[in-house]
Amino acid sequence: MKKKKTLLLAGLCAALIGSANAQEKPTVQFIATGGTIAMKIDPIKKAPVPAISGDDLLATVPEVAEYAKIEVDNLSNVPSDYMDPPRWIELSKAVNAALQRPEVSGVIVSHGTDTLEETAFWLDLTVESEKPVVVIGAQRNASSSDFDGPRNLLNAVRIAVDEQAKDKGVLLAMNNQINAARHVTKTHTANVETFQSGDYGLLGEVYPDRVIFAREPLRRQHIAIKSDAMPKVEIVAMYGGADGALLRSAVDQGAKGIVVQALGMGNMNQPMFEAVKYALGKQIPVVISTRVHNGRVMANYGFEGGGKTTADAGAVMAGDLSPQKARILLMLLLQDGKTEQDELQAAFDAI
């Protein structure tokens, strides 16, 4: 009888300890927005379409329960090609609201890969918290036998509860690699190792036994969202033979800012340069970026259309930000009331 009581007591203690451990698990908010990670092959269209929720994806990774309690917010289920400023604003509000809850250790955002780098950078600029925000996607849809979504979600959960991930801004976690939102870009249409950070490299990696960080991003800033509608900012590409007509048209159609995807260190031909001056003459800020993947634009070349001539005319140099990220920063700065070349340039130099 005594032995039975002892076994009963031991079992009760084990149950209580297990219950306590379950309660001690950190809470992670998982915000699903759609993308390939939420798609399956439609039997009629015979092509991937939005099909699964955040809850469905979570159900494929029971191992996450070892690390955290996951709360799912199915914010949307759209291809990331549909992402735009109104959706970004809504997402920022959801992320900030989650991070303000004391019990939430971090936030995961699932997203399509086509504009994932833009959304990650937007969140990096508009979310103010030391808690981790981890964005993930998938290159293969949920109908694939080697679907990469579950692994990316599990890794994101492990990162979101890791003390090392605090105060590093928004992180992109795919293919066991961790990249900083500011530097990362999609480099391959299909490869699972599509996201790269160019000359800057990875922040860290996720291994079966632990998460390893090798460095942290230093150039970061926060810009509060002050408007429910972002100013219209267009990207215009420079290429051999460009005549500047599209840039002029963007100005005439009401653009409040222009980003030029220039060449090399930020150079363009004379017709495009004249179009830049046309925009500046109408008090429309112009930011010069480049189509080159690595390096930064500079006020360097002195020929008509060279980087120095556009800077002297009043344009802003984007540093090493890609055109799509320069557009996001310019939008946020304009809605924050910054329109002068010197204050815009200071913000681009800071980040």
Find residue 40's DSSP bridge partners. 49
Coil, strand or helix at 196:
strand
| Backbone torsions φ then ψ of 254, nearest 5 degrees | 100, 15
Q: What angle do CA 328, 329, 334 make, to 5 degrees?
A: 100
Count the helix, strand and coil residues of the chain and give each as a percent rounded to the nearest 5.
40, 20, 40
Q: Which of 113, 119, 194, 310 is an active site residue?
A: 113
113 is in an annotated binding site: yes
Question: Is 113 known to be catalytic?
Answer: yes
The residues pairing with 263 across neighbouring beta strands, listed in sequence order, are: 267
Rg of the chain over all Cα atoms, to the nearest angstrom: 23
Residue with tokens 């979101």: 160
| Active-site option among 36, 119, 290, 309 | 36
Which of 296, 289, 112, 265 lies closest to 186 in space, CA to CA? 112
**In which element (H, E) is residue 247 found?**
helix 245-252
Task: For residue 124, say whether it is annotated as part of any ligand binding site.
Answer: no
3-state secondary structure of 195: strand
Q: Give 150-181 as a DSSP string.
A: HHHHHHHHHHHT-GGGTTS-EEEEETTEEEET
CB 64 within 8 A of CB 153: yes
Coil/strand/helix, residue 8? helix
Cα(119)–Cα(170) distance, rounded to whole angstroms? 10
**Is 115 annotated among the ligand-binding residues?**
no
Residue 310 is among the residues annotated as catalytic for this protein: no
- Residue 19's SS3 state is helix
Annotated binding-site ranges: 80, 113-114
Q: Which residues are known to be catalytic?
A: 36, 113
Annotated binding-site ranges for substrate: 80, 113-114
